[in-house]
Every structure is written in C-alpha cells, then in structure tokens.
Amino acid sequence: MPELPEVETVRRVLQERYVGQTVTAVALGKPTFYRPPPLAAIKTLTGGVIAAFKRRGKYLIVALEGRGEVVFHLGMSGRITVGGESPHVRFQMWIGTEAVRFHDSRRFGRVGCPLPDLGPEPMDPEFTADYLWNILRKRTAPVKALIMDQKLIAGLGNIYATEALHAANVRPGRAGKSLRRAEVEKLAAACRDILSLGVKAGGATLDDEAFLDPLGRPGRMQMGVQIYGRTECGTCGGAVIGTRKSIGGRASAYCPSCQR
C-alpha cells in the first residue's frame, strides 16, 4: 500500500491540476526520509515546468520540460496532498502558488530514486496468459509472492494480489508450478480485472485512511473487496483464514472453500 490503483489515482489528480505550471520552490522536512532526495532531483524540480505526471507500476514520475524526469515512490505509508498539514511532511514543492506535500510516517518513501527494472503491468499488451504461465510453471515459490514480485509483474501488492487470487479460485500459498494452465489463464484475467476495478474506484481507502487522493477524497475499492480485510468471504460467506506463514513478507488471507 499504495499499489498501482492508488498511485494512478494520485497521478490523475496531479496531471489535471498542474500540467504546464512551474515548480517554484522545494523544501525538505525535518527529519526527512531515510534516503533524502539527491541534489540532482532538487535541481531538476526547482524552476521546472511540468510536462506530465506519469506512472510505472507503483512509481509516480514527474516529467519536466527539457529537464528529464524525477521519480517518486510512496513506500509503505506515503501520501501526496495539495496543502494539508501533518507531523510527517518529508518533502514539499510549490507548484504555482500551491504546496504539494509528501507525507510519510514510516519514512520509506523516496524522491529522486532510480526507476528499477519492472515487469509488465497486468493491463499491458505483453502481460498475457502465456507470459504468466512462463513465470509460474517452473517455480516453487508461492504464487502470491511471484505475482507481487515487481520485477515479474509491476503494480500488484497485498490488497490486489489477494483479491486476484480469490477471483481466480487459487490459494496464495500454492507453488507457482502447481497451477494448471486453465488456472493460470483465469489468474491472468483476474490480475487485469482487479487492478482495472481498483483504478475505476479511485483506489482503496481502509479503516486507517492511509490512502486518500491529493484532495483528501477516499477511494471506493474497499467496498467491493471479496476477501481482503474481511472475516467472511464475500462470495460464499465462509470464514476467511490466514496462511500459517507470511508470503512475500505480508500476511495472506484466503477462503478455503472458494480457493484451491
């Protein structure tokens, strides 16, 4: 959290509001992130005219006219707001007369980080059942860990991977190579469909309100989840249980009746 739909929601708000405007100043909070923005990123942003806000996987990218791009990563708890105060403002930039602030209570977010090698996103043309089959068919790692590996598939995190596996009727702890071809085809479609639903819903805002869009508006995806954060399966009404061990460093839930 935030995952592809949340970052895309942020991107769309900033794109509509600030394209063509100038970054007049930037400032770091005290304390700042664990890895403060490099000087090159500060210099690129200051005085730059915004050409576009882009996104790759979970990364937000600010493209500046004639100056290249600056990559943002929201980490585990990052939020970007138009105005807004909190004790956790790590970075802010003024676009025109408005302050755009990066809040991050856990300080793992980044500004000016390199864009890593990322796999295709589930909505990309190259993400096909064949692509997913080749990723999974020889691997013993849990399928959930594999589809959350950003080098293999960009954009899926705990919420949307949990929902996609439920939609495909696949348990998260199964070895990748244990999936039959028909299951892989169903999972590929589910990854694409679940992320598309998340984007359409403006992301997921859970009880802690860790995600709100830059204007403070909540997403709606949480109202349609079938398994994540629930005690009863949204499909069959059965009890939701957790795997004995975390998968990919995250707690994992599934419905033993719907998922095999």
pLDDT of residue 209: 73
- pLDDT at site 210: 81
Q: Are strands 89-95 and 23-28 parallel, antiparallel or unpaired?
A: antiparallel
State the chain's mean pLDDT as an integer: 96
Is there a catalytic annotation at residue 106? no
Please check whether residue 106 is in contact with residue 89, taking contact to mean a CB–CB distance below 8 angstroms. Answer: no
pLDDT at 178: 98
pLDDT per residue as tens digits for the range 49-85: 999 999 999 999 999 999 999 999 999 999 999 999 9
Q: Which CATH number fits domain 4-111: 1.10.10.10, 3.40.50.300, 3.20.190.10, 3.80.10.10?
A: 3.20.190.10
The active-site residue, picked from 3, 6, 121, 163, is 3
Question: What confidence score (pLDDT) does residue 64 get?
Answer: 98
Does the annotation count 6 as an active-site position? no
pLDDT of the residue at 12: 98
Domain locations in the chain as residue ranges: 4-111, 129-254
For 250, phi then psi, to 5°, come to -125, 145
Which stretches of the chain drop beneath a pLDDT of 50?
none
**CA–CA gap between residue 143 and residue 176 (Å, rounded):** 5
pLDDT at 206: 84
Q: Quickly name the fold that domain 129-254 has.
A: Helicase, Ruva Protein; domain 3 (1.10.8)
Instruction: Show the 3-state SS of 11-28.
Output: HHHHHHHHCCCEEEEEEE
Assess whether 121 carries a catalytic annotation: no
Choosing from 55, 58, 67, 186, the catalytic residue is: 58
pTM beyond cutoff 0.85? yes
183 is catalytic: no
Residue partners of 86: CB distance under 8 A and separation at least 6? 103
Name the catalytic one among 2, 37, 142, 172.
2
Q: Which amino acid is at 207?
A: D
